[in-house]
């Protein structure tokens, strides 16, 4: 009876390769539709619950930026994945986790308070490059959502620029699910807010982190410089504590 154990990781790697090729093509076409260079959009591969061997398969295919939702999961993976990656925290960050986050991540996409920004700066090793930060903006008004309302962004940006080890790079948002029209409106509003804040505050704010597996093409058309893609690269997410076969 043939041993199929060795075939399973290969099959997973092949699936990742096919999905990545499709994603890159779709991303390039979306950029071209809006008159942009596809190279201006950074692909953040979201690896929540993805095992290290599948992350390594994506890295072998040219992925060099990965996003994690939780600080603790990123800590556990750091020693198990290839070196030289840029690590992005895309999930909500509590101030009591900022010390560890400042050591693990290169970019935090979910700044929503001065307290968190201050903690990241205070705990960042001055020998390292500044930690990049994006303010998360919430357009839904849903109480369970993290992020700050648009009208509060300017004040938070002003406060965050005072912290020496924090490089405030731009804005992030999560669009309403299941409605392409609402997603486009959300992304357009974030771009317009960024453009307005550039003029009013004199900040560059080059980065717009917006777009996930179901809406990244619309986000690119509306100006995203980072898209956060998990399922469309790695397949359906496994439940916490469950590993895929193989």
pLDDT in tens, 184-229: 999 999 999 999 999 999 999 999 999 999 999 999 999 999 999 9
**3-class state of residue 36 by DSSP:** coil
Categorize the per-residue pLDDT at 9 as very low, low, confident or very high, splitting at 50, 70 and 90.
low
Residue among 146, 141, 236, 155 at smallest CA distance from 201: 155
Question: 2 pLDDT exceeds 60?
Answer: no
Residue 191 is predicted with a pLDDT of 98
Residue 10 is predicted with a pLDDT of 63
B/e letters for 105-124, b = 16+ CB within 10 Å, e = fewer, are: bebbbbbbbeebbbbbbeeb
Residue 207 is predicted with a pLDDT of 98
When comparing pLDDT for 241 and 194, which is higher? 194
Question: 160 pLDDT exceeds 90?
Answer: yes
Phi, psi dihedral angles at 53 (to 5 degrees): -65, -30
Categorize the per-residue pLDDT at 4 as very low, low, confident or very high, splitting at 50, 70 and 90.
very low
H or E segment to which residue 67 belongs = strand 65-68
Question: 245 pLDDT exceeds 50?
Answer: no
Task: Work out the average pLDDT over 3-18.
Answer: 73
Domain spans of the chain, in order of start: 7-234
The CATH architecture that domain 7-234 belongs to is Alpha-Beta Barrel (3.20)
For the chain, the distance separating the N- and C-terminal CA atoms, rounded to the nearest angstrom, is 17
Residue 246 is predicted with a pLDDT of 29
Two structure tokens written together for 33: 């539709």
Two structure tokens written together for 27: 């991303």
Question: 91 pLDDT exceeds 90?
Answer: yes
Residue 165 is predicted with a pLDDT of 98
Question: pLDDT exceeding 90 applies to what percent of the chain?
Answer: 85
Question: 243 pLDDT exceeds 60?
Answer: no
Average pLDDT, the chain: 92
pTM of the predicted protein model: 0.91
Residue 123 is predicted with a pLDDT of 97
Phi, psi dihedral angles at 166 (to 5 degrees): -120, 125
- From the number of C-beta atoms within 10 Å of its C-beta (0-12, 13-18, 19+), residue 27 rates as buried
Task: Work out the average pLDDT over 73-87.
Answer: 95
């Amino acid at each position: 009876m043939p041993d199929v154990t060795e075939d399973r990781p290969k099959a997973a790697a092949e699936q990742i390769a096919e999905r990545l090729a499709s994603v890159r093509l779709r991303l390039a076409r979306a950029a071209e539709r809006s008159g942009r260079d596809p190279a201006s959009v950074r692909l953040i591969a979201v690896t929540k619950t993805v095992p290290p061997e599948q992350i390594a398969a994506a890295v072998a295919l040219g992925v060099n930026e990965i996003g994690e939702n939780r600080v603790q999961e990123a800590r556990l993976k750091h020693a198990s994945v290839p070196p030289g990656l840029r690590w992005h925290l895309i999930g909500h960050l509590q101030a009591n986790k900022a010390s560890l986050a400042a050591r693990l991540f290169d970019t935090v996409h979910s700044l929503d308070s001065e307290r968190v920004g201050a903690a990241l700066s205070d705990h960042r090793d001055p020998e390292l490059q500044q930690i990049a930060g994006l303010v998360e903006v919430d357009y839904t008004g849903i109480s369970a959502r993290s992020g700050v309302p648009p009208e509060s962004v300017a004040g938070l940006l002003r406060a965050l620029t005072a912290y020496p080890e924090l490089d405030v790079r731009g804005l992030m948002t999560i669009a309403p699910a299941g409605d392409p029209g609402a997603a486009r409106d959300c992304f357009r509003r974030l771009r317009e807010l960024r453009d307005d804040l550039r003029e009013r505050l004199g900040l560059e704010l080059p980065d717009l982190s917006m777009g996930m597996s179901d809406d990244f093409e619309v986000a690119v058309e509306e100006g995203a410089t980072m898209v956060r893609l998990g399922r469309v690269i790695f397949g359906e997410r496994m439940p916490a504590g469950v590993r895929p076969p193989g």
